């Protein structure tokens, strides 16, 4: 790892010493942080909508009737574990470990992301079969909007993981590929943070 890369990007080894490469990397990462902040605004609006609809059940089921804490806890555990594997992928990339390790950690993250999506779809199917659809009440509409938006982000992250693995196989650990994986890592960790809020506010708060 070059001293310049370590000094300016402690979490990323670009293997370059020229300032121009690092300047471009900083601009790219800054722009991505701005995108993540805009995504947080979207989730903040969905959380606010959910909070305003808590009592709008229209005589239908409420959180205590719908939520299964064990299922939500399992989804939380799977997603948190995927955050760990993504972090291990970042470490493997930073320290130029064997490419097989980076492949493995990215693949583990992908599998865990797909497991999370499978569990979430299973919950939605069960709710729909019980008549707990978005059309039933304002509260259910806001719940589906919040949780499914997060799920769509996870699905997008899984597609991004697949593309990253393909790019890694085709181009190797070029600086451009490293930057893409770094942005993917930031995106994935953000989804974990958002899910922690969903689990705490929606599930635990609803069953309190």
Residues 52-95 pLDDT 10s: 999 898 889 999 999 999 999 999 999 999 999 999 999 998 88
| φ, ψ (nearest 5 deg) of residue 100 | -60, -30
- SS3 state at 96: coil
Degrees, nearest 5: CA angle 48-53-57: 160
Architecture of domain 38-207: Up-down Bundle (1.20)
State the greatest distance between any 2 C-alpha atoms of the chain, in Å, as a whole number.
Answer: 65
User: Which distant-in-sequence residues (6+ apart) come within 8 Å of 86 by Cβ?
Assistant: 105, 106, 109, 184, 185, 188, 189
pLDDT at residue 156 in the model: 98
pLDDT at residue 14 in the model: 58
Torsion angle in degrees (nearest 10) through CA of 103, 104, 110, 114: 150
C-alpha to C-alpha distance for 65 and 128, rounded to whole angstroms: 13
C-alpha to C-alpha distance for 167 and 161, rounded to whole angstroms: 10
Q: Report the percentage of the chain scoring pLDDT > 70.
A: 89
Q: Report the percentage of the chain scoring pLDDT > 90.
A: 74
Q: What's the predicted TM-score (pTM) here?
A: 0.89
pLDDT at residue 94 in the model: 85
Closest CA to 154 of 122, 110, 197: 110
Identify the helix (H) or strand (E) that includes residue 91. Answer: helix 69-94
> In angstroms, how far is CA 107 from the centroid of its own chain?
15
Cβ pair 46, 184 in contact under 8 A? no
Closest CA to 110 of 59, 71, 168: 168
Residues 148-184 pLDDT 10s: 999 999 999 999 999 999 999 998 888 888 899 999 9
- Domain ranges in the chain are 38-207
The secondary structure of residue 156, as a DSSP letter, is H
Using CB atoms within 10 Å of the CB of residue 47, give its burial: 0 to 12 exposed, 13 to 18 middle, 19+ buried. middle
């Amino acid at each position: 790892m070059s001293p310049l890369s370590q000094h300016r990007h402690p979490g990323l080894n670009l293997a370059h010493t020229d300032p121009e490469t690092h300047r471009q990397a900083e601009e790219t990462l800054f722009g991505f942080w701005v995108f993540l902040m805009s995504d947080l605004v979207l989730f903040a609006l969905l959380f606010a909508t959910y909070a305003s609809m808590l009592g709008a059940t229209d005589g239908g089921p409420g959180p205590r009737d719908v939520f299964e804490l064990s299922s939500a806890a399992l989804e939380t555990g799977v997603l948190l574990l995927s955050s760990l594997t993504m972090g291990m992928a970042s470490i493997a990339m930073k320290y130029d470990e064997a490419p097989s390790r980076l492949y493995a950690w990215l693949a583990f993250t992908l599998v865990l992301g797909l497991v999370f999506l499978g569990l979430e779809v299973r919950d939605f199917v069960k709710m729909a079969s019980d008549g707990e659809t978005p059309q039933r009440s304002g509260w259910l509409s806001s719940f589906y909007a919040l949780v499914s938006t997060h799920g769509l982000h996870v699905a997008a992250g899984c597609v991004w993981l697949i593309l990253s693995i393909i790019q890694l196989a085709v181009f190797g650990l070029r600086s451009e590929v490293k930057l893409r994986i770094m942005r993917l890592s930031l995106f994935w960790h953000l989804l974990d943070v958002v899910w922690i809020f969903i689990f705490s506010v929606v599930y635990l708060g609803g069953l309190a």
